[in-house]
Amino acid sequence: MVTDEQVRLLRQKLMEGKKQESAAATAAMSERSARKWQRGSLPSETKKPRMWRTREDPFDEVLEKEVVPVSRATPRARSSRRAC
Map out the domains of the chain as residue ranges.
Answer: 4-45
pTM of the model: 0.60
pLDDT of res. 22: 97
pLDDT of res. 78: 57
pLDDT of res. 77: 58
Pick left, alpha or beta for residue 11 (phi over 0 → left; psi -120 to 50 → alpha; otherwise beta).
Answer: alpha
Residues in the chain where the model's pLDDT stays below 70: 77-84
